[in-house]
């Protein structure tokens, strides 16, 4: 096995005993009288993209999330003619605890046993999983070259922030190709990112209210951007022309002109 020395001495070693989410029956918990011992603030950064992270209250009992509730305390726009943003949040947010406590959720490393497609898996330690992955990466780097490893998360111009910047920076340092995130479906704004260093130039969604035209091209914000979608409908009532270009008659196209 080839070895490669990397300057990682400044990085703290992760705790191999990462905490695991305990198994709970939310149905059984909710059949009982709802009592909680504290309310904490939280959000969900993985449900949508544009202006995400809505404000939620989480009702917690013995460390278990019993209920998620929209806070609805966002300030009104400066323009009194623009509709109120509250309550921000959506169905995907209020039921996120189901995903967290889902019995099928993968909570620790699993290694395939036998042929691919056999659905046989063996639990391994974090140390074993990270070591085996690192060994393969180092072998490929030293025998085939960094161009043979592709990290499909893009450069840090278009990454997922704290969710993706670490691995993007690692493969950038190794000299591996970094195609744009979602390059396989071609929905990245590469020209904007290369020219200006960022891909988002939009105003806040409440400014849609005064748009002359809104073009929804290949998207479905009624599903993917629920907290802001009401502004699209309210803009249409205000005289904005809404045009949708989509391969299907989706929930957003229904509300287009």
Nearest to 68 by CA among 101, 28, 113: 101
Buried b (16+ CB within 10 A) or exposed e, 218-246: ebbbbebbbbbbbbbbebbeeebebebee
Question: Which tokens belong to 27?
Answer: 């149905």
What are the sequence ranges of the domains in the chain?
A: 26-100, 108-138, 145-189, 205-255
Are the C-beta atoms of residues 127 and 156 closer than 8 Å to each other? no
pLDDT at residue 175, as a whole number = 84
At the topology level of CATH, where does 205-255 sit? Answer: Dimethylsulfoxide Reductase; domain 2 (3.40.228)
pLDDT at residue 12, as a whole number = 46
Question: Which tokens belong to 163?
Answer: 């969710």
Predicted confidence (pLDDT) per residue in 37-75, tens digit: 899 998 887 767 666 788 889 999 888 888 888 887 888
Return d(Cα 146, Cα 148) in angstroms, integer.
5
pLDDT at residue 13, as a whole number = 45
What is the chain's pLDDT, residue by residue, as a tens digit (257 residues)?
Answer: 444 444 444 444 445 444 555 565 666 666 666 788 899 998 887 767 666 788 889 999 888 888 888 887 888 877 888 888 888 888 888 888 888 888 888 888 999 998 888 889 999 999 999 999 999 999 999 999 988 887 766 555 544 555 566 777 788 788 887 766 666 556 566 666 667 666 666 678 888 889 999 999 888 888 888 888 899 999 999 999 999 998 899 999 998 99
pLDDT at residue 1, as a whole number = 45
pLDDT at residue 164, as a whole number = 62
């Amino acid at each position: 096995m080839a070895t490669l020395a990397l300057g990682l001495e400044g990085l703290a070693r992760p705790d191999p005993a990462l905490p695991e989410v305990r198994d709970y029956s939310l149905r059984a918990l909710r059949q009982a009288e709802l009592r909680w011992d504290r309310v904490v603030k939280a959000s969900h950064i993985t449900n949508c993209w544009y202006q995400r992270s809505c404000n939620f209250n989480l009702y917690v009992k013995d460390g278990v999330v019993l209920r998620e509730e929209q806070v609805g305390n966002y300030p009104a726009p400066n323009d009194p003619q623009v509709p109120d943003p509250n309550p921000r949040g959506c169905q995907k947010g209020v039921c996120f605890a189901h995903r967290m406590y889902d019995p099928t959720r993968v909570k620790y490393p699993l290694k395939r046993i036998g042929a691919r497609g056999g659905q046989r898996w063996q639990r391994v330690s974090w140390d074993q999983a990270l070591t085996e992955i690192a060994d393969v990466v180092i072998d490929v780097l030293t025998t085939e070259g960094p161009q043979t490893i592709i990290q499909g998360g893009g450069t840090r111009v278009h990454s997922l922030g704290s969710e993706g910047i670490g691995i993007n920076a690692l493969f950038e340092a190794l000299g591996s190709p970094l195609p744009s995130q979602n390059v396989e479906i071609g929905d990245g704004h590469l020209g904007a990112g290369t020219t200006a260093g960022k891909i988002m130039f939009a105003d806040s969604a409440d400014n849609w209210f005064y748009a002359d035209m809104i073009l929804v091209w290949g998207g479905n914000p009624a599903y993917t951007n629920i907290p802001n979608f009401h502004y699209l409908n309210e803009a249409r009532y205000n005289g904005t022309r809404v045009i949708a270009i989509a391969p299907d008659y989706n929930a957003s196209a229904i509300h287009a002109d």
